[in-house]
Structure 1
Amino acid sequence: MKTYYKFSFLLVFSVLFSCKDLTELNVNPNGIQADVANPNLVLTTVLTEAPKLYLNLGFGDISGVMQHTQGDAWFSSRNDYDWAGSQSWTAYYDVLRNNQMVYNRAVDLKYEFHQGVALTMRAFLFGLITDLWGDAPYSNALKGDLGGNEYTMPQYDTQESIYAGVLADLEKANTLLSKAMAEYQGIDASADVIYGGNPAKWRKLANSLALRYYLRISAKSAGTAKTGIEKIVANPTQYPIITEATDDATLAYVGNNAGDSWPSNAVYDASGSNYRRIKMCATLVNAMQAINDPRLGIWAKKVETPLVVDATLPAGTDVIKDGKRYLSPDKVGTTPINTNADYVGLPPSVSALPSSYNLNPTPGQLSYNPHVSYLNDSYKAAKGALLKARLVSAAEVHFILAEAALKGWAAGNAQTHYESAIKASLATWGVASLATTYLANEGVKYKGTLEQLMQQKWMASWTAATESWFDFRRTGLPALTPGPAANRRVLPVRFYYMADEIRINEANAASAINQLQESAYSQADGKNSAWSKSWLLKGTAKPW
């Protein structure tokens, strides 16, 4: 029997391979071969998936950390920082592998535009990974196809060296993207879903990202940061940057299916829970109400049924009349409530049952709370003019330069940049015509303080709160505090290394964890804690 099967196998094998050699047979007809792929086909994947990952952070859990939004169902990660073991960088490295394919093919084909774009996206993604985790696989991270343990189980590069690599990539991208569009080969405008194949705009993005990362490292490498920012500002022709909202690096959601639609949409989410469970956070709502911020109505929905407590009502009164819920004081007792008739935010990490806040009559996972502000109805849609993932904005760039100017660096006039940042943000959200009135508001009028600047930058980071979190870590501003149900008494500062990585790449992960600085808030987590400090914060008193 063994002899028969052996003979049959050899016969079939010889028949097959008499016609084709091994290289022909090993071509997957349904796959894309890395050495012959058209980089435009893969570029679109990179330019859609990376922004979606970034938006999912800034509109998701980090929006909760920075108190833009809160959840009242499936809320523990958003409100309370219940993150242990739940965070993974796999999706980021998946995109980076595709991006490396784009870069390698672009080098082979001498497509300089694609090289510049790929380097910019590489910097964006590796910068984000080290921002979130600290030390991470970098120099050997995308070489698994070479074999060898040093590539399949890569060492972790230091956070400091990754930032240096990010800035070097952006410098190279600036040079590669410095020619007119007609001088490049291989551009397919339809493949570039961010800038339509426009190298000048990509060049602005690369240099704007460089500003972001120079400021990021400013507390640890002030000289490098100062020199880098001043170099860019002093040479606008050689280092153009994003200064107008029309040049913002954005990805518009197209709304064709669940995968390319806004994450809180109620179109492909039949239950509507992705929208229903998200509420405006009281911290943001109160701050915006205090200065009559015109963006609040763009982002938030007014309370459906305001609460009215009336001491003249008979004891036991709890009635809905004329669109309001009237209560006698005894029905409220000592329970904290918010009777604002327009907007009511959910306080951060308010309790173990946040859906019960403000006397909600139907608390629970399927709650519908008529006494708290939902997001604007536009966030139910699958797509829309404002439903975009925003990588870098003109508002952020002007805020960066305003802060640099406040430090005394040669970055322009701090007040001019502060006001330009606010104007750019208002333009982004469709209320540019209200800029003059808003800037004249006493609470907005320029005072020359870092606190005011960071407060406005925090508000302008709506749906992109991840950058605001990184700013908070660096400055401690705005001075946010967790609510009573949060896992710690201070905000977290990093992501946990995931359990699979610690198990599979054990030695390298352990070495990286050992580099973290434990804090009083790390507690039982040990060094691999969301409250331990990576190189960027080690030895500093920030943010706590």
Structure 2
Amino acid sequence: MTLFGLTALMLSSCGEFEELNSNPDAAVRATAPMLATGLILNITEGTVSGQKGFLSPHFLSKSVIYTEFAEDLQYNYLGRTSFDGLPTLTNVEKMISFSPPDAYKNSYTALGKFVRAWKFFELTMRVGDIPYSDALKGEANVIAPKYDTQKQVFVGILNELDEADKLFAQGVKFDGDPVYGGDVTKWRKLVNTFELYVLLNLYKKTGEADLRVVDRFKEIVNTRPIFQSNADNFQLVYSDKAGQRYPFFKLGNPSVIYPMVSEVLIGKLKDLDDRRLFYYANPSPVQIAAGKSMSDYAAYKGTDPSMIYSDITKIFSTKDYSPLNSRYTELPNAEPVALMSFAQLKFMLAEATVRGWISGTPAATYYNDGIRAAMQFTANYTPDNALYHHNMKITDAYIATYLASDKVKLAGSNEKQIEQIVTQSYLSTYLQAPFHAFFENRRTGYPAFPINPASNSNTPSNKMPVRWLYPQKELDYNTENVKQAIASQYGGSDDFNQAMWILK
């Protein structure tokens, strides 16, 4: 056999081997839809953990208590945050480069800008100044990115969201979207609704001319598409399939026996005669055994989340407390988890009206619409089963009665109205929108969270912490830049109680 023939045989055999041993279901190369899916899931599924981790943000927001161990977030220890989620944003440029030209590229570019804005917003809300303009430039040999001020980061986020809206408006339906099916109109609604949320977090910075906080807010409300119903919610929908079940479903979940519902939540629901109580919690079995009805508000017992852990475990051992409603553990498709909802939007519009940013529609109208949307969301995703609503159904007639109640009506001073609005937002985000309630409490002080110096892990023990610490990796590998950021913001002290720029 000639050398040419031997070589040809070897190449042929090699080709046959690769063909026989390749996975026909595996992608040969990345595509724009594949990368889009990964980026969207990163900010949705990557944000909503499973089992105990699913509840963790709500320990900090004082709506749920955990009894297996003394949880850090339950006792206000925030620890260090992580920037490990940022490298996924390197896929943004790859997604855009792989996308088809023209209108398709507009859609994928818009998606990339939104995901960037979402991720950078999450990080700056935790620590303050972060790498932004220099971030993600490892391929350009920028291995120690400089930090941008929080103001510069917010300017960038707002600009990226403005650009995303314009690009989606010039885009077309795109592939790889597990949330909205590539519907660019729905994505525009999300982009603009999220921008309103970003702007509301800048309410102390309305004097910053380059941010144009109030003008931007008005422009979005008056000229751009925003959420119009619960159908627009940015949410994960669950089903009874492996990998797609509700995050706290009982299957393989040893954590189901440990949660208690907090008095912070239960007390407010009782005060307002709010039937969401019967959808959010189960009655205390001790109170039922004593003769109370499952439809009786008095059968539901919240627990003070600031109690020392040993006292909480004593209550847990008596069983005289309200656990989570059974639907959260018994139904694999219990309810969607929204990261941004129509109800939240309505409460944002109500607050902006009270603050004088927008006019034309009364704040009470937005407020009532928010409550109605939140209640309908809960009712519509709950089966008509007494185990899940305890014969206290939320109907349209009940909602009308609730809104007419003097306890609920939006009234009083502007500050009182803001308290009512934020409190209703809190009630609407039970087991929804991770960390939203904590950031709202930090921003407005509402609802007030109980603080017990005997159990609080924060120092001083009479205060809630307001920020996480910078990542250890930054201190180890980007030392000069992170130390400069700590010095310029916090006088060199990276601690949990230092107020970042948006809070001043």
3-state DSSP of counterpart to 2:235: strand
Deviations 1:92-127 (A, max 9, x none): 214323344324433867522222222222211111
Please show how residues 473-484 of structure 1 align to structure 2 within 5 Å: 473-483=442-452, 484=454
- What are structure 2's unaligned runs of at least 5 residues? 1-6, 12-21, 380-393
1:397 equivalent in alignment to 2:345: yes
What is the aligned partner in structure 2 of residue 65 from structure 1?
60
Aligned partners of 2:283 and 2:299 also within 8 Å: yes
CA distance in 2, matches of 1:193, 1:172: 22
TM-aligned CA distance change 1:340 to 1:527, over 3 Å: farther
Please show how residues 456-475 of structure 1 align to structure 2 within 5 Å: 456-463=424-431, 464-475=433-444
Aligned partners of 1:54 and 1:389 also within 8 Å: no
RMSD, aligned α-carbons: 2.9
Amino acid at match of 1:400: M
Please show how residues 41-60 of structure 1 align to structure 2 within 5 Å: 41-56=34-49, 59-60=54-55
CA distance in 2, matches of 1:54, 1:427: 24
Identity of aligned residues (%): 26
3-state DSSP of counterpart to 2:65: strand
1:225 equivalent in alignment to 2:225: no
Tell which deviates more after alignment, 47-56 or 493-502: 47-56
TM-aligned CA distance change 1:375 to 1:476, over 3 Å: same
2:477 to 482, 504, 514: 504
What is the aligned partner in structure 1 of residue 260 from structure 2?
279
CA distance in 2, matches of 1:158, 1:60: 32
Deviations 1:313-341 (A, max 9, x none): xxxxxxxxx82399xxxxxxxxxxxx974
Aligned partners of 1:418 and 1:446 also within 8 Å: yes
CA distance in 2, matches of 1:298, 1:171: 38
2:177 to 173, 183, 192: 192
1:531 to 490, 497, 502: 497
1:203 equivalent in alignment to 2:196: no
Amino acid at match of 1:158: T
Tell which deviates more after alignment, 102-111 or 447-456: 102-111
Q: 1:445, CA displacement in angstroms?
A: 1.4
What is the aligned partner in structure 1 of residue 387 from structure 2?
none
Aligned partners of 1:204 and 1:241 also within 8 Å: yes
What is the aligned partner in structure 1 of residue 251 from structure 2?
267
Aligned partners of 1:61 and 1:77 also within 8 Å: no
Aligned partners of 2:179 and 2:234 also within 8 Å: yes
CA distance in 2, matches of 1:354, 1:45: 44
1:452 equivalent in alignment to 2:436: no
TM-aligned CA distance change 1:60 to 1:530, over 3 Å: farther
TM-aligned CA distance change 1:106 to 1:71, over 3 Å: same
Q: 1:54, CA displacement in angstroms?
A: 3.1
What is the aligned partner in structure 2 of residue 329 from structure 1?
none
Q: 1:347, CA displacement in angstroms?
A: 0.7
Number of positions where the alignment pairs a residue of Structure 1 with one of Structure 2: 452
CA distance in 1, matches of 2:291, 2:351: 46
1:515 to 467, 488, 493: 488
What is the aligned partner in structure 2 of residue 8 from structure 1?
none
CA distance in 2, matches of 1:341, 1:97: 53
What is the aligned partner in structure 1 of residue 372 from structure 2?
423
What is the aligned partner in structure 2 of residue 523 from structure 1?
none
TM-aligned CA distance change 1:264 to 1:78, over 3 Å: farther
3-state DSSP of counterpart to 1:136: coil
Q: 1:285, CA displacement in angstroms?
A: 0.6
1:352 to 291, 301, 309: 309
TM-aligned CA distance change 1:32 to 1:382, over 3 Å: farther
1:178 equivalent in alignment to 2:162: no
TM-aligned CA distance change 1:382 to 1:468, over 3 Å: same
Aligned partners of 2:259 and 2:323 also within 8 Å: yes
What is the aligned partner in structure 2 of residue 156 from structure 1?
147
CA distance in 1, matches of 2:240, 2:89: 25
TM-aligned CA distance change 1:535 to 1:347, over 3 Å: same
TM-aligned CA distance change 1:127 to 1:106, over 3 Å: farther
- What are structure 1's unaligned runs of at least 5 residues? 1-14, 20-28, 307-321, 327-338, 363-368, 519-525
Deviations 1:112-166 (A, max 9, x none): 22222222222111111111121112122222122x2x3x221222111111111
Aligned partners of 1:215 and 1:400 also within 8 Å: yes
TM-score (norm 2): 0.82
Q: 1:527, CA displacement in angstroms?
A: 2.2
Aligned partners of 1:253 and 1:384 also within 8 Å: yes
Tell which deviates more after alignment, 104-113 or 403-412: 104-113
1:442 equivalent in alignment to 2:406: yes
CA distance in 2, matches of 1:455, 1:401: 15
Please show how residues 82-231 of structure 1 align to structure 2 within 5 Å: 82-85=77-80, 87-90=81-84, 92-106=85-99, 111-146=105-140, 148=141, 150=142, 152-179=143-170, 184=172, 187-188=174-175, 191-222=176-207, 224-231=212-219
Aligned partners of 2:78 and 2:467 also within 8 Å: no
What is the aligned partner in structure 2 of residue 486 from structure 1?
456
Q: 1:530, CA displacement in angstroms?
A: 2.1
Q: 1:169, CA displacement in angstroms?
A: 0.9
Aligned partners of 1:48 and 1:251 also within 8 Å: no
Q: 1:391, CA displacement in angstroms?
A: 2.0
CA distance in 1, matches of 2:228, 2:58: 25
CA distance in 2, matches of 1:382, 1:88: 33
3-state DSSP of counterpart to 1:156: coil
Aligned partners of 1:170 and 1:206 also within 8 Å: yes
TM-aligned CA distance change 1:93 to 1:108, over 3 Å: farther
Q: 1:84, CA displacement in angstroms?
A: 2.6
3-state DSSP of counterpart to 1:481: coil
TM-aligned CA distance change 1:98 to 1:75, over 3 Å: farther
Q: 1:207, CA displacement in angstroms?
A: 0.5
CA distance in 1, matches of 2:424, 2:351: 12
CA distance in 1, matches of 2:258, 2:63: 14
3-state DSSP of counterpart to 2:165: helix
Aligned partners of 1:346 and 1:357 also within 8 Å: no
Q: 1:77, CA displacement in angstroms?
A: 1.5
